[in-house]
Structure 1
Amino acid sequence: MSASPSQLRHLLAKPGIIRSLGAHDVFTALLVQQAGLETVFLGGFGTSASLLGLPDVGLITLSEMADAVRRMASRLHIPVVADGDTGHGDIHNVQRTVREFENAGAAGILLEDQANPKRCGHFSGKQIVSTKEWLDRLKAGLDARKNPDFIIIARTDSRAIEGIHAAIDRANQAKDLGVDVCFVEAPQSIEELQLVAKEVKLPLLANMLTGGATPILSASELETMGYKIAVCPIESLMVTAAAMKQLLKVYMEHGRVDRPDAGAMFNFTQLKETLGLDSISSLKTRLEGKS
């Protein structure tokens, strides 16, 4: 059922901003799809949290991420954009990462310039590799893709280390290689967001992390500024965590959760509908009708 990379490339080519939301598991991704969003983002932060219960500090492996991509892409009909982090090693590992993600059904991949072990882009203590090493990663990624429609997103974390002008310079060098989208991580003001949009002439991704280093703007504001993709990367995880904490609080206090103060819940019918139980239940009937 996975979407083809050409669907994402078509979205990049048509007018309007692409709104994407991070999903840390397949059920969340289903909700994203059913809400009408055109893409879903599978990030390292959410995957590390949901799969390992650990922070985004480079602990997730290539095979774990590729498996997560495969599970998600196989269930959806909208494109999955997946976090390739640093490519999980040198240029040979970068090529393997791109091929694994592409084979797993991703429509695009992010490749960044952090040094290993990488960290969440809004954590302190990040380190970056040289511009040359990052560009070599991107060259390797571009060379590895089998389908030319598979999207390569060049992410630079250099703003936190070298400043916004250095980050823009890196982004433009990546643009010259032929990457499809540039992503300058963690601009620290609206003026910096505007400067990136003015100086980097390529489709741009804006990371709208609630509580992060970058001011939060609406998708329409980002579109007016010149951005092509707006991503809310881990807000689904934040909401899930807050809801679970409240549910557990009520259960510990009252020994039951069918109370208004336990928070909003899907009813059982809504869960079954979201998961597609009817289509699965109808399989036997359809097959029997062919006998």
Structure 2
Amino acid sequence: MLYSTTPAAEKRRILRERLAAGELLRFPGAFNPLSARLIERKGFDGVYISGAVLSADLGLPDIGLTTLTEVAGRGQQIARMTELPAIIDADTGFGEPMNVARTIQTLEDAGLAGTHIEDQINPKRCGHLDGKAVVDESTAAKRIRAAVDARRDPNFLIMARTDIRAVEGMDAAVDRAKALVDAGADAIFPEAMRTLAEFERMASELDAPILANMTEFGKSELFTTQQLKDAGVSIVIWPVSMLRIAMGATGRALDTLNAEGHLTSTLGEMQHRSDLYDLIDYESYNHFDTNVFNFTIDKELGL
């Protein structure tokens, strides 16, 4: 009720513990706080908060237009609604190394379990688009060192994302990832890997967990969790999938409304009112006011 009961520090500790155990952790992307709670209900390991989703939520392209305040605020809203650890996309850290340091402490204060900082130049772009450009190795390493130095909770996960694979190739990606681990990164997010063999190579050559981004319509094949686990991946995210599904369903419902004048034919596709009330824990609010929850819902009525 109202918010999760697990403190942020405990979420971080558990995430670190599970990563150290060598499990494959599944982090679907939440597009709002309620979807994060549904991800938890369905038995996943964590919640991912995508910069692309946060941008799209504001009607903006994913090119670094969002601010630290916007990202941290939305991240806090999402993280507080689930007992799961939440990892958030911090783009390039919102500025120079000192800005990166402030970003880390702000995200810690917001209750996030971790974040990733990437090595693109500004303005950045979606990792699965052509025409990306990356900063030099020294600049990328400075961002990660600043993040690590600013961290107050040693369990806050600082991940380095590198986009260099699409720019300079796989050998450069491995070299860049090694340099970022040397700079203090706890894990590596190698963006836009094309094959399982590339994930396998990255995992075998790095002394750090790696993350796989299974985003649709991108550069990577949509591998199964078992394939990724066998390749040595530690975390898999589906960053925009739930938003895409929700927006696709909304578009179809609007078409139905235009065509039929009502949505009766789509009731079976909707989340029932009783399921929504259960998800938001409506009944628990009765603890404060007995007039809040004093009704029953008949599912047969389709309300």
Aligned-residue offset at 1:31: 0.9
In structure 2, the partner of 1:289 is none
Q: Percent sequence identity over matched residues?
A: 37
Structure 2: gaps of 5 or more residues:
291-303
* Structure 1 moving runs of 4+ over 4 Å: none
2:8 and 2:111 in contact (8 A); partners too: yes
Q: How does 1:87-106 map to 2 (within 5 A)?
A: 87-106=93-112
In structure 2, the partner of 1:10 is 17
Aligned length: 283
Which stretch has the larger CA shift, 68-77 or 112-121? 68-77
In structure 2, the partner of 1:288 is none
Give the alignment's Cα RMSD to 1 decimal.
1.3
Aligned-residue offset at 1:30: 1.2
Q: Report the TM-score, using the length of structure 1 for normalisation.
A: 0.94
1:181 and 1:202 in contact (8 A); partners too: yes
Q: String of CA shifts for 1:108-165, please: whole Å, max 9, x gaps.
A: 0101000011111112221111110000000000000100011000100001111111
In structure 1, the partner of 2:72 is 66
Aligned-residue offset at 1:176: 1.7
In structure 2, the partner of 1:133 is 139
In structure 1, the partner of 2:280 is 275
- Counting helix residues as a fraction of each chain, which structure ranks higher? 1
Q: Distance in 1 between matches of 2:225 and 2:195?
A: 16
In structure 1, the partner of 2:242 is 236
Aligned-residue offset at 1:263: 6.2
1:247 and 1:263 in contact (8 A); partners too: no
Matched, 1:32 2:39: yes
Aligned-residue offset at 1:18: 0.3
Which stretch has the larger CA shift, 117-126 or 276-285? 276-285
Q: String of CA shifts for 1:178-214, please: whole Å, max 9, x gaps.
A: 3211111001223222222222231110111111101
Which stretch has the larger CA shift, 5-14 or 114-123? 5-14
In structure 1, the partner of 2:190 is 184
In structure 1, give the amino acid aligned to 2:272: N
Q: Distance in 2 between matches of 1:72 and 1:191?
A: 34
Change in 2 beyond 3 A, CA 1:186/1:200: same
Q: Distance in 1 between matches of 2:18 and 2:220?
A: 25
Q: Distance in 1 between matches of 2:18 and 2:144?
A: 22
In structure 2, give the amino acid aligned to 1:284: D
In structure 2, the partner of 1:49 is 56
Q: Report the TM-score, using the length of structure 2 for normalisation.
A: 0.90
In structure 2, the partner of 1:80 is 86
